[in-house]
Amino acid sequence: MSLTDLLSPSDIAAALRDCQAPDSFSPKKFFQISGMSKKSSSQLKEIFRILDNDQSGFIEEDELKYFLQRFECGARVLTASETKTFLAAADHDGDGKIGAEGINCFQYRMRH
């Protein structure tokens, strides 16, 4: 399964266009534009599995900086500040990595 099986290619492209400039990435806005904010918990877990590059069950800071490139090969790398902000928003237990439940928690916070 690929991300385009779960998300519209045009929505992914729009989300990537929105954050082309360094330090313009907003996880909340990216989730909204890409359509991730409308996905169910099970769909988000599948997206998470695809984004978990080393299949460790977690997305660590080193993986997170390449987040946009998981959506499109030529996308930019997140800046250090963007990576830290994203990690802080989704790391619900403070262990320095994001589990699938962290993505769900982040999604919940975006909606409420």
84 is in an annotated binding site: no
Amino acid residing at 48: F
Phi, psi of 31 (to 5 degrees): -60, -40
18 is in an annotated binding site: no
- Residues lower than pLDDT 50 in the chain: 112
54 is in an annotated binding site: yes
39 is in an annotated binding site: no
Residue 14: the pLDDT is: 98
For the 7-111 domain, the top CATH level (class) is mainly alpha
Residue 106: the pLDDT is: 56
26 is in an annotated binding site: no
52 is in an annotated binding site: yes
Asked if residue 92 lies in contact with residue 66, where contact means CB atoms within 8 angstroms, the answer is no
Residue 67: the pLDDT is: 94
63 is in an annotated binding site: yes
Residue 112: the pLDDT is: 45
pTM for the model stands at 0.86
Q: How far is CA 51 from the centre of its chain?
A: 8
